[in-house]
C-alpha cells in the first residue's frame, strides 16, 4: 500500500513543485511505483512532468468535484516513469465548490482509496496557501515534507505551517506527521544561509533531512522542457542532490 506525502509550505516560490517533481522522478528511478498529484491550480507539477495542462481530458478538479475516478483522470507522461493526476486553473473553483460538501476535507482521501494499491508512493504538490485544497492534501497524507530556503523569515513562516499540521493531526488525521524539513536552493557561500541552517538543526534536530539541495540553474531550466531536473540533466549537482534525497526518503519511510 502506498505511503502518501504532501510537499507543503504556504509560501510561494520555495521549491515545493521542484521537490515534488524531482522526488517523483528519483523514486521512480529507484523502481518505486509513484503517483504525483498536482494540487495547485497553477499546474506547475503537471507542466513540469510534460503534460499540457490546457489539453487534459480530466483533471483533479473533476475528481474532487464531479466524481470522475482517479483511475480515469491519472496520466502517464511520455518522458517520465511516474503517473500524474494533472491540474489546471479550473482547480481554483474547487475551493469554493467543496465548501458545501460533507466531509469536505476528506474528498481527496476518498478518491485515492481505489488506487492506493497501485503505488508505493503518492506525492502531493500543495498550493501556496493553508487552504481547503491543502487541507485535503494533509488529510490524505501519512506525512509532510517541508521544503524551505534558509532565509531570515523562513522560521517565522514555519510556525504557522507546523501549527496547522498539529491541528490537522489532532482533529482530522491522526496519521499525519512531519517527515522532514528539506533545505533547498542552498548557497553555502552565504553566511546567513549557514546560520539559518544551523538554527533549523538546533530547533528541529533529526527532522531536518541530511541532504541539502543546492541552488542549481539546471533545476530551474528543466520545467521549460517539461522534464524533472533529474531526467533533464541527471549529472547536474541539483539532480544528484534530488537523487540522494530519494534514497533518504526511502530510508525514512522504512523507519516509519
Q: Which residues bind Mg ion (CB under 5 A)?
A: 16-17, 44
How many residues touch ligand ADP (CB under 6 A)? Answer: 18
Strand 121-125 with 143-148, pairing:
unpaired
CA 215/CA 5 separation, integer angstroms: 23
For Mg ion, the closer of residues 16 and 74 by Cβ is 16
Q: Is 157 in the site for ligand ADP (CB under 6 A)?
A: no
Place of cell 530547533: 203
**Residue 14 binding result from Mg ion, ligand ADP, none, given CB thresholds of 5 to 8 Å by partner type:** ligand ADP
- The minimum distance between CB 100 and Mg ion, in angstroms, equals 27
CA 185/CA 147 separation, integer angstroms: 9
Enumerate the β-bridge partners of residue 145: 7, 180
Q: Is 49 in the site for ligand ADP (CB under 6 A)?
A: no
For ligand ADP, the closer of residues 158 and 213 by Cβ is 213
The DSSP annotation for 189-201 comes to T-HHHHHHHHHHH
- Cβ proximity of 123 and 20 under 8 Å: yes
Site for ligand ADP in 89-148 (CB under 6 A): 128
Grid coordinates belonging to 4: 502518501
CA 239/CA 87 separation, integer angstroms: 24
For ligand ADP, the closer of residues 45 and 63 by Cβ is 45
- The minimum distance between CB 40 and Mg ion, in angstroms, equals 5
- The minimum distance between CB 10 and ligand ADP, in angstroms, equals 10
- Cβ proximity of 168 and 141 under 8 Å: no
Q: Kindly indicate which of the ranges 102-110, 138-146, 156-164, 209-217 contains the residues binding ligand ADP, using the contact rule CB under 6 A.
A: 209-217
Strand 3-7 with 34-38, pairing:
unpaired
For ligand ADP, the closer of residues 172 and 225 by Cβ is 225
Chain residues binding ligand ADP by CB under 6 A are 12-18, 44, 128, 184-185, 213, 215-216, 219-220, 223, 238
Amino acid at each position: 500500500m502506498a505511503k502518501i506525502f504532501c510537499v507543503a509550505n504556504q509560501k510561494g516560490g520555495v521549491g515545493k513543485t521542484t521537490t515534488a517533481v524531482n522526488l517523483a522522478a528519483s523514486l521512480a528511478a529507484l523502481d518505486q511505483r509513484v503517483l504525483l498529484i498536482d494540487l495547485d491550480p497553477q499546474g506547475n507539477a503537471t507542466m513540469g512532468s510534460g503534460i499540457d495542462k490546457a489539453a487534459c481530458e480530466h483533471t483533479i478538479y473533476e475528481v474532487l468535484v464531479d466524481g470522475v475516478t482517479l483511475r480515469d483522470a491519472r496520466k502517464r507522461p511520455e518522458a517520465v516513469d511516474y503517473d500524474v493526476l494533472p491540474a489546471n486553473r479550473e482547480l481554483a473553483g474547487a475551493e469554493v465548490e467543496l465548501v458545501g460538501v460533507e466531509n469536505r476535507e476528506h474528498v481527496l482521501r476518498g478518491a485515492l482509496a481505489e488506487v492506493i494499491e497501485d503505488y508505493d508512493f503518492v506525492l502531493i504538490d500543495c498550493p501556496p496557501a493553508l487552504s481547503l485544497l491543502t487541507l485535503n492534501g494533509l488529510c490524505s497524507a501519512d506525512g509532510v515534507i517541508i521544503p524551505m530556503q534558509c532565509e531570515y523569515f523562513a522560521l517565522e513562516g514555519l510556525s504557522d505551517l507546523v501549527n496547522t499540521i498539529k491541528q490537522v493531526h489532532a482533529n482530522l488525521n491522526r496519521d499525519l506527521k512531519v517527515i522532514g524539513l528539506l533545505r533547498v536552493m542552498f548557497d553555502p557561500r552565504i553566511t546567513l544561509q549557514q546560520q539559518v541552517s544551523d538554527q533549523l538543526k538546533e530547533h528541529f534536530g533529526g527532522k531536518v533531512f541530511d541532504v541539502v539541495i543546492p541552488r542549481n540553474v539546471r533545476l530551474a531550466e528543466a520545467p521549460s522542457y517539461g522534464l524533472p531536473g533529474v531526467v533533464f540533466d541527471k549529472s547536474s549537482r541539483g539532480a544528484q542532490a534530488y537523487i540522494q534525497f530519494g534514497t533518504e526518503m526511502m530510508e525514512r519511510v522504512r523507519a516509519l
